[in-house]
Amino acid sequence: MVFCILFFVPEFSVRADAPDPVRSKNGMVVSASNLASKVGLQVLKKGGNAVDAAVAVGFALAVTYPSAGNIGGGGFMVIHLKDGKNITIDYREKAPINAASEMYFDEKGSVDTNKIQEGVLSSGVPGSVAGLIYALEKYGTLKLADVIQPAINLAEIGFPLEYRLAQSFKSYLDYFKKYESSLKIFSKNGLPYLEGEIFKQPDLAFTLKQIKEKGRDSFYKGKVAELIVQQSKKLGGIITLEDLENYQAVERQAITGSYKEFEVVSMGPPSAGGIGLIQLLNVLENLNFSKGEWGSSKYIHVLVEAMKYVYADRSVHLGDEDFYPVPKGWLLSKRYSKEIFGKISDEAIASEKVFAGNPNLYKESEETTHYSVYDGQGNAVSTTTTINSGYGSKVVVDGAGFLLNNEMDDFSVQPGFANQFGLIGSKANSIEPGKRMLSSMTPTIILKDGFPYLIAGSPGGSTILIVVLQVILNCINFKMDIQEAINQPRFHHQWLPDQIDYEEFGMAVDVIDNLVKRGHKIGQIKSLGRVEGILIDIENNIIFGATDPRGFGSAEGY
């Protein structure tokens, strides 16, 4: 397949030959952490289903991948059960009851990025523990003690640090030095950890044991809750015991659509990802790209023009449905997608001339992490979880051993003000007490004839849905295997700023020249996303797993 693409598209620089994806017959777990993937695989081998394994992976990632894996953040889980039912679980963080936009302004009335991107004031009420336990109790088959014990072992006994994790701790050392509780965990008395040294987290082990013994109440009402509030109050935060006691994970209706002969199942608001993904697929369904057009300037141009309209809609129409009437039906309609498609010409339209659609004319950090699980019995789980930017708020809860998120930055604090990902919002995503902030996370399951075909997701902030889209197109339109589809170079545009970002070595000079002639602005970026994916060949009963070479994860199957 690679040679075919190279032959037809000499203008596009393709990544080095991909290794074959991992193959299995019985089950597959793919995550950003080798240790966490192995934890999930062991759960499957012991007879657990995909949900059991996903919950075990979620807790393990809080130990082995602390820059993004978490119990102090939130996420979304998309589930397809073997009986055909699609479920989505929303455990996104919420604004504390005392939150207000004015808290994040400086004396001049401008947004103070330090307050909203770092420290306990940037933290929303965490939802990960509630979400994982909800999923396990309702759709799993094992007890909480069985799925959380591997994470306890990893925290208590420790594990040898890989080079990239030791370097990650070192690169954030200046941040950790601001917070004594964080420095205690991620350094050796202020000195960097070295590759190969055993990393133990006794405080985190304590917290996980509390959860094992007393369930979610230990985190939201018990000793751990008290430690969260104590740390927040000490450092000027606003999370209260009432915030924690009132937090609930919510089961929401899955966002679904169709693309060719496939059914797309993804997350709805407060995620913008599912709606944006299906909007883009609806627009692209009006085209029929040949294999030879993959990576061409025409292909990139059409995708980018569609992206502009979808991201413009995101900025105006999307937010927490409990607070704002999101026009989902209209955004997901084939009629509206044809309207967008009709606006795309051979020349680039300036983003300043692109406006969100009007539904009333008719009666949707990079340091996030994703994992995909399939149990071989027809159950599939696609989960994306985050504490927002790398190591979230940078504040560890003293005595509890876990980081708090900095998700308040995902609200639209001030109309027209861009957050750390360059996203601009409006009233739909404004700060309100108890509201869930808008997200770009796009955990997705693609079904073929009612059976799981593709499970995928990615970190990457505002780029997530575009990364997931390109992997889906690579698999469906261009018949790539899952590893090849993930390895291919990517590009991104999000309406504002008005620029196509492409990966290093991912676009040949003549393609760039053609795009510039069409009126596009071009920029280079080191990498886009880190996809963890599974593709299932139902006819031959083969499960293929692939981790993104942009990261350091693993696919584990049996």
CA distances from 387 to 127, 367, 395, 459, 538 (A): 10, 7, 11, 11, 35
3-state secondary structure of 1: coil
Contact 392, 406 (CB under 8 A): yes
CA distances from 226 to 118, 241, 397, 430, 473 (A): 21, 7, 10, 28, 47
Which residues have C-beta within 8 Å of that of residue 101, sequence separation ≥ 6? 411, 413, 414, 430, 431
Task: Find out whether the peptide bond into 459 is cis, omega within 30 degrees of 0.
Answer: no
CA distances from 145 to 36, 58, 100, 152, 206 (A): 16, 14, 39, 10, 14
Contact 476, 482 (CB under 8 A): no
3-state secondary structure of 150: helix
Phi-psi region of 416 (alpha: psi -120 to 50; beta: other; left: phi over 0): left
3-state secondary structure of 191: strand
Phi, psi dihedrals of residue 283, rounded to the nearest 5°: -65, -45
Amino acid letter, 524: Q
Contact 454, 475 (CB under 8 A): yes
Please confirm, yes or no, whether 444 is among the known catalytic residues: no
CB-hemisphere CA count at 13 Å for 540? 8
> CA 116, 388, 220, 85 torsion: positive or negative?
positive
Residue by residue, DSSP assigns 304-349 as HHHHHHHHHHHHHH-S-TTTS---HHHHT-HHHHHHHHHT--SSPP
CA distances from 303 to 236, 262, 344, 457, 474 (A): 44, 19, 10, 19, 13
Place of tokens 């190279």: 6
3-state secondary structure of 380: strand
H-type alpha helices, 25-178: 34-45, 50-64, 113-117, 128-139, 144-157, 163-171, 173-176
Q: Which of 64, 207, 240, 368 is catalytic?
A: 368
3-state secondary structure 282-310: HHHCCCCCCHHHCCCHHHHHHHHHHHHHH
Distance CA 421, CA 224 (A): 31
State how beta strands 74-80 and 380-386 pair.
Answer: antiparallel
List, by residue number, the catalytic residues.
368
